[in-house]
């Protein structure tokens, strides 16, 4: 039995002087956990960085989920009919006939017939501008939009289009499946990254707690000598790191919100440029909704909770000789 254990008073012994003047409290310079120390400031910076990365990841996942829902809703409400030019047939007559069939179909709210020039313009991103397509049999496109109520009978529409052999219907089911798969994969990757960031932060807190305990072992022994229980020491560590976690989580979350606000402002400024159009197509206005900002606030709270719980657990394990 060590000297410390031999002279430690019973756990039930009261220590009024210790409760009146805690070794853990007392402003910026305290005996055991000085908040203004270099290690304390460095730990706050680490928590800020981790909270910022976690908040950015959570916000990005929310953006992807909302954009995916928008893509799916938009694509699901559209059908495309292609009318291919064929020798011996009047393509303009076929286009008009297909449009009439589509307009008579129940559940179709809008029918838009693309001109040949508009169809050729759609090919510019792949073929480049200035290429003469007059000699190529570019299909004519007819875009159908469904109403918000009853969905059209796709099988019946395909059967009706059989009267025009050059027409083919695409209900975008393949693209919907691919979009859903891609979005779900991105959301899963984002959640994995978020979990890794929070795990790394927890490990950093655990090492910081052990470092503080190792550097102040003599003070902890004195606290045991005067009757401080393990619960008391662990609780004070928890309070200290909870303050650091709240501070770092608030700063990191605030910086993430500011970053999203700046990104949204810049995306609105670039809305008329090709890059802006691509960003808008992928992420909408690149602005978080209420759910996104709520997710960042929740992340800040989780960061503070992790710092408190990990520090308390580490102190208990260290004091009880389990590490």
Distance CA 104, CA 161 (A): 12
- Domains in the chain: boundaries: 17-72+177-319, 85-165
Distance CA 227, CA 185 (A): 55
User: Cα(66)–Cα(76) distance, rounded to whole angstroms?
Assistant: 15
Residue 206 in this model has a pLDDT that exceeds 80: yes
- Tracing tokens 């389990």 back to the chain, one arrives at 322
Q: What confidence score (pLDDT) does residue 64 get? A: 82
- Residue 264, SS3 per DSSP: helix
Distance of CA 277 to the CA centre of its chain: 22
Instruction: Please state which of the ranges 1-5, 60-64, 140-144, 279-283 shows the lowest mean pLDDT.
Output: 1-5
Looking at residue 54, its pLDDT comes to: 92
**Mean pLDDT, rounded, for 48-52:** 92
Tell which residue, 243, 219, 246, 203, has the closest CA to residue 51: 246
With a pLDDT cut of 70, the percent of the chain lying above it is: 75
| C-alpha–C-alpha distance, residues 240 and 237, integer Å | 5
Res 8 pLDDT > 60: no
* Cα distance from N-terminal residue to C-terminal residue, the chain: 19
The mean pLDDT of 166-184, rounded to a whole number, is: 79
What is the mean pLDDT of the segment spanning 19-43?
53
DSSP conformation class of 27 = S
In terms of DSSP bridges, do strands 140-146 and 78-83 run parallel, antiparallel, or are they unpaired?
antiparallel
pLDDT above 50 (res 113):
yes
* Res 25: pLDDT: 46
Of 21 and 132, more confident: 132
> Which two three-digit tokens encode residue 4?
């410390």
Q: Tell me, what's the pLDDT at 21?
A: 40
Higher pLDDT, 76 or 99: 99
How far from the centroid of its chain's Cα atoms is residue 132's Cα? 44
Looking at residue 255, its pLDDT comes to 94
Going by C-alpha positions, the residue among 200, 234, 196, 201 that lies closest to residue 44 is: 201
Give the DSSP letter of residue 288.
Answer: -
For residues 189-193, average pLDDT: 91
pTM over 0.75: no
Q: Considering all CA atoms of the chain, what is the largest pairwise distance in Å, rounded to the nearest integer?
A: 107
Lowest-pLDDT range of 23-32, 72-81, 172-181: 23-32
CB-based contact 7:221 (threshold 8 Å): no
DSSP state of 143: E
The answer to whether 16 touches 227, Cβ cutoff 8 Å, is: no
Matching residue, tokens 């409400």:
77
User: pLDDT tens across 262-294, in order?
Assistant: 887 777 776 655 555 555 555 555 667 788 889
Residue-averaged pLDDT of the chain? 76
Tokens at 288, concatenated: 């978080």
Across 287-305, average pLDDT:
87
**Residues counted in the chain:** 323
Is residue 285 within 8 Å of residue 268, measured between CB atoms?
yes
Q: What is the mean pLDDT of residues 4-26?
A: 42
Tokens of 114: 């693309």
Nearest to 144 by CA among 175, 198, 99: 99
15 DSSP 8-state letter: -
Query: At 171, which helix (H) or strand (E)?
Result: none
Report whether 304 contacts 249 (CB < 8 A).
Answer: yes
The neighbouring-strand residues paired with 82 are: 141, 168
Per-residue pLDDT reduced to its tens digit, 208-259 = 888 777 777 777 777 777 777 778 777 777 888 888 889 999 999 999 999 9
pLDDT band for position 31 (50/70/90)?
very low
* Residue 148: pLDDT band with limits 50, 70, 90: confident
């Amino acid at each position: 039995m060590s000297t410390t254990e031999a002279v430690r008073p019973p756990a039930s012994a009261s220590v009024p002087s210790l409760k009146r003047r805690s070794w853990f409290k007392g402003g910026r310079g305290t005996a055991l956990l000085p908040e203004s120390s270099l290690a304390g400031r460095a730990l706050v910076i680490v928590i800020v960085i981790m909270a910022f990365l976690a908040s950015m990841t959570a916000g990005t996942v929310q953006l992807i989920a909302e954009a995916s829902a928008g893509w799916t809703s938009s694509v699901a409400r559209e059908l495309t009919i292609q009318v291919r030019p064929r020798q011996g047939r009047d393509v303009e007559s076929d286009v008009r006939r297909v449009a009439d069939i589509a307009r008579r179909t129940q559940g179709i709210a809008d029918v838009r017939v693309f001109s040949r020039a508009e169809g050729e313009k759609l090919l510019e991103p792949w073929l480049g501008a200035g290429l003469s397509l007059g000699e190529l049999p570019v299909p004519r496109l007819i875009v159908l939009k469904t109403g918000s109520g009853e969905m059209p009978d796709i099988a019946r529409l395909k059967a009706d289009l059989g009267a025009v052999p050059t027409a083919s219907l695409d209900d975008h089911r393949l693209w919907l499946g691919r979009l859903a798969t891609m979005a779900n994969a991105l959301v899963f990757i984002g959640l994995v990254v978020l979990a890794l960031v929070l795990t790394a932060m927890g490990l950093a807190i655990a090492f910081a707690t052990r470092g503080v305990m190792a550097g102040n072992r003599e003070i902890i022994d004195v606290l045991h000598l005067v009757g401080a229980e393990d619960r008391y020491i662990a609780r004070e560590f928890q309070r200290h790191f909870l303050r650091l976690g709240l501070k770092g989580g608030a700063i990191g979350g605030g910086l993430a919100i500011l970053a999203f606000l700046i990104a949204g402002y810049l995306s609105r400024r670039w809305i008329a440029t090709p890059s802006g159009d691509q960003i808008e197509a992928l992420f909408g206005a690149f602005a978080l909704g209420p759910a996104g900002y709520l997710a960042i606030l929740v992340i800040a709270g989780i960061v503070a909770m992790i710092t408190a719980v990990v520090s308390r657990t580490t102190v208990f394990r260290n004091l009880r000789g389990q590490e």
